[in-house]
Amino acid sequence: MPELVNLEVFRYSPEHTPEPRFQKFQVPYNKEWVVLDALNYIKDRTDGSLSFRWSCRMGICGSCGVLINGEPKLSCATFLPSKSSKPIRIEPLRHFPVIRDLIVHIGDFMTKLKKVKPWIIRTNESPLSEGEFLQTPDEMERYHQFSHCINCMLCYAACPIYGLDPLFAGPAAIALAQRYNNDSRDQGAARRMPILSSHDGIWACTFVGECTQVCPKHVDPAAAIQQYKLTAALHSLKSVIAPRGAA
């Protein structure tokens, strides 16, 4: 008799299960299996209607974030626990509307991402024929960490502020804005400032720090936000002391 693992999976379907519920499943234990393999086992053999997102299965596409026993995790990067007496509870990411089962709607993030202008802004264009912009490894190091965000949304699911105040721009969007602000090739920091230093930008953050805890790519969005608070505070201080100079 192979060892079995018990799962409790969140189910919701507006057509058939309008009242959300947890459904119990059993899958064989396999030490090489991640939670995603268990979900696929269920979908392939037991219940083809179980719905979830996944793609690369190597922790880089950012599709498969769910709550596993309450913690936001990538289901492809979380091994099944062995000899677990309690069932593993799998739920859709917190703070997002659920479309179906484990699938959440992330349109809100996509809108906010665009708002922070996450692209290189240049005031003076230089032609490709002049070659690359020079950037030393040290200059790259100043933004590199923030460029590793895979948009998996685990930080939004971990952030109680986002849960309570859906207008908050959120950890990933701010980290990505800061990624460009810190890039030596970018000249757009001033254009991002009105969005970032608004009420729903960095100042909504009370530094819970959970975003950084759950980030699977060690982006440290909390640091990005606190850094920008300092930048914005210094900027407004300057605009009080020397209004023209700071403008």
User: What is the footprint of another protein within residues 166-185 (CB under 8 A)?
Assistant: 176, 180, 183, 185
**Do 80 and 5 touch, CB atoms closer than 8 A?**
yes
Name which position in 6, 8, 13, 23 contacts another protein (CB under 8 A): 13
22 binds another protein (CB under 8 A): no
Name which position in 141, 167, 236, 239 contacts another protein (CB under 8 A): 141
Name which position in 6, 57, 193, 198 contacts another protein (CB under 8 A): 57
Whose Cβ is closer to another protein: residue 117's or residue 170's?
117
237 binds another protein (CB under 8 A): no
Instruction: Give least dist CB 244 to another protein, A.
Output: 27
> Which parts of 104-123 interact with another protein (CB under 8 A)?
105-106, 110, 113-114, 117-120
99 binds another protein (CB under 8 A): yes
Instruction: Give least dist CB 6 to another protein, A.
Output: 21
Binding residues for another protein, total number by CB under 8 A = 88
239 binds another protein (CB under 8 A): no
**Do 69 and 78 touch, CB atoms closer than 8 A?**
no
Instruction: Give least dist CB 44 to another protein, A.
Output: 4
- Helix 171-181 to helix 137-144 angle (10° resolution) is 160
Gap between the Cα atoms of 6 and 27, Å rounded: 7
